[in-house]
Structure 1
Amino acid sequence: MTLMSCARWDVQGGHLAEACLKAPTQAMPVVFVRAIPNDRQETRNSYECPVYKTKLRGSTYVSTFHLKTKERPAKWILAGVALLLSV
């Protein structure tokens, strides 16, 4: 199971959204991952979300996912939004 820290995934809209007040960590829906060449990757309106193995960030860094957003990426950077593989 993958969890999202400090935000939530809006399933209907297909983008990042504000976290619910009482649930700082929410489950992420199943994600289909595929490789795309850098020059064909859509980076507009996306947040480069870091993926970590555990809540302890830093040395547990795995990769970066580009997640769609309607907000500026700076908002999610300041909020510390990340995907966690295990808690």
Structure 2
Amino acid sequence: MKCIMWDIQLNSIADSKLKELFPVVPVIYIKAITQDKQDLRNMYDCPVYKTRMRGPTFVWTFNLKTKEIALKWVLAGVAILLQI
């Protein structure tokens, strides 16, 4: 699993800095919208898990903005872990 960071200047996910194993993603404001208003361009469907173990701890997918192609993050196995 690859670590990511949230780039505040780009307002999107980016590669983490060297030797930074668990970068913190800032608190994210979530707002419900209808599907017809949803813009999925330049988005990565990031899986969210309760723990590091994948599978039964899956919660949902979260759309994260990205400047890279989404396939880069899929191949890297990027996921968000909840702090519970």
TM-score, normalised by the number of residues in structure 1: 0.87
- Work out the number of aligned pairs and report it: 83
Identity of aligned residues (%): 51
1:60 aligns with 2:57: yes
- Listed as ranges, the gaps of 5+ residues in structure 2 are none
1:17-56 equivalence runs, <5 A: 17-56=14-53
Q: How far 1:24 sits from its partner (Å)? A: 2.6
Return structure 1 stretches of 4+ with deviation > 3 angstroms. none
Give RMSD over aligned pairs: 1.4
- Structure with bigger strand share is 1
Please give the secondary structure, in 1, of the residue aligned with 2:36: helix
Give the match for residue 72 of structure 1. 69
TM-score (norm 2): 0.90
2:80 pairs with one of 71, 76, 83? 83
